[in-house]
């Protein structure tokens, strides 16, 4: 059965500015658990810039299930990767979200460092590629070719299932198949992030595609209504994230 995670980046007002944490994740764990979240997708900077959180999060309830990594896998990022691997060995997440840089000439370098990093992780910890815009793998055909000879259990794909519509989602399944194991939940409408229930027809079409392709993965509330709004505040974001989770549960479970 699918599980539902809260991404701590969703709540972080400094996510795209200073990247200095504005809250401690440990202070939210009881609320996450009480409100039905099965796990946490941890924004790396909530730990890397505030390493005193490590002890509090090692045995957290709900647990840290995905480590949100920001190193780009260039040779220049090796020190960051080594530090991240150390944190991951303490936290024992089931997956690590990652992206590469944007330098096509470094494709072999990125791949070599990815494989070395994966080998340094605990057994059973999968690498989850976000195939993000602005990276060397933003084209799904290029990404499919990159991963075709790598283990589908070890190297998986994140989809933003509700961002591009049903046709775009099906194209991802055509390229990646069962590698798609996690949905990052966010939806844009008229240039702003909104709750899923603002576009029920589109979202239901995407659920039809997920089900038709046998998706059996999980969902992270990544962004929601209020993100980057003039009146953005952490309580509003959290309430909207809960509403998105509830909407998915009603449609999916």
In which residue are the tokens 């939940």 written?
A: 185
Token pair, residue 88, equals 């991951």
**Measured CA distances, 222 to 36, 51, 78, 111, 193 (Å):** 16, 22, 26, 26, 11
Domain range holding 43?
4-252
The mean pLDDT value for 112-129 works out to: 97
Closest CA to 194 of 229, 165, 169: 229
The mean pLDDT value for 43-52 works out to: 88
Closest CA to 199 of 233, 244, 158: 244
pLDDT score of 50 more than 90: no
How many structural domains are present in the chain? 1
Distance CA 230, CA 183 (A): 27
The mean pLDDT value for 118-139 works out to: 96
3-state DSSP assignment of residue 68:
strand
pLDDT digits (tens, 9 = 90+) for 57-107: 999 999 999 999 999 999 999 999 999 999 999 999 999 999 999 999 999
In percent, the amount of the chain with pLDDT more than 90 equals: 98
The mean pLDDT value for 180-208 works out to: 97
Is omega for the bond preceding 180 within 30 degrees of 0, making it cis? no
**Measured CA distances, 229 to 13, 20, 225 (Å):** 11, 19, 8
Element at 55 (helix H, strand E): helix 53-58
pLDDT score of 37 more than 80: yes
Distance CA 19, CA 38 (A): 25
In percent, the amount of the chain with pLDDT more than 70 equals: 100
| Threshold 0.95, pTM exceeds | yes
Query: What is the reported pLDDT for 49?
Result: 80
pLDDT score of 48 more than 80: no
Distance CA 121, CA 89 (A): 6
pLDDT digits (tens, 9 = 90+) for 134-155: 999 999 999 999 999 999 999 9
The CATH number of whichever domain residue 142 belongs to comes to: 3.20.20.150
pLDDT digits (tens, 9 = 90+) for 206-224: 999 999 999 999 999 999 9
Q: Which residues pair with residue 127 across a beta bridge?
A: 96, 155
pLDDT score of 253 more than 90: no
Question: Residue 66 carries which DSSP code?
Answer: E
Query: What is the average pLDDT score of the chain?
Result: 97
Query: What is the reported pLDDT for 214?
Result: 98
The mean pLDDT value for 45-55 works out to: 88
């Amino acid at each position: 059965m699918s599980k539902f995670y809260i991404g701590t980046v969703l709540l972080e007002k400094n996510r795209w500015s200073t990247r200095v944490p504005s809250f401690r994740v440990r202070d939210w764990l009881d609320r996450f658990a009480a409100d039905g979240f099965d796990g946490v997708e941890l924004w790396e900077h909530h730990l890397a810039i505030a390493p005193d959180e490590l002890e509090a999060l090692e045995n957290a309830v709900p647990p840290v299930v995905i480590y949100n990594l920001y190193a780009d896998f260039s040779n220049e990022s090796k020190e960051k990767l080594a530090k991240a691997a150390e944190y991951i060995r303490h936290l024992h997440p089931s997956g690590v979200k990652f992206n590469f840089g944007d330098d096509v000439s470094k494709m072999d370098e990125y791949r070599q460092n990815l494989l070395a990093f994966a080998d340094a992780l605990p057994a059973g910890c999968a690498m989850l590629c976000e195939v993000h815009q602005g990276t060397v793998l933003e084209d799904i055909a290029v990404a499919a070719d990159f991963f075709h000879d790598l283990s589908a259990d070890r190297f998986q794909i994140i989809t933003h299932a509700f961002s591009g519509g049903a046709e775009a989602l099906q194209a991802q399944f055509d390229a990646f198949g069962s590698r798609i194991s996690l949905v990052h939940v966010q939806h844009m409408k008229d240039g702003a992030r909104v709750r899923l229930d603002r576009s029920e027809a589109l979202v239901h079409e995407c659920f039809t595609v997920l089900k038709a392709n046998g998706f059996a993965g999980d969902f992270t509330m990544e962004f929601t209504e209020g993100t980057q709004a003039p009146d953005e505040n952490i309580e509003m974001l959290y309430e909207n994230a809960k509403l998105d989770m509830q909407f998915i549960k009603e449609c999916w479970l």
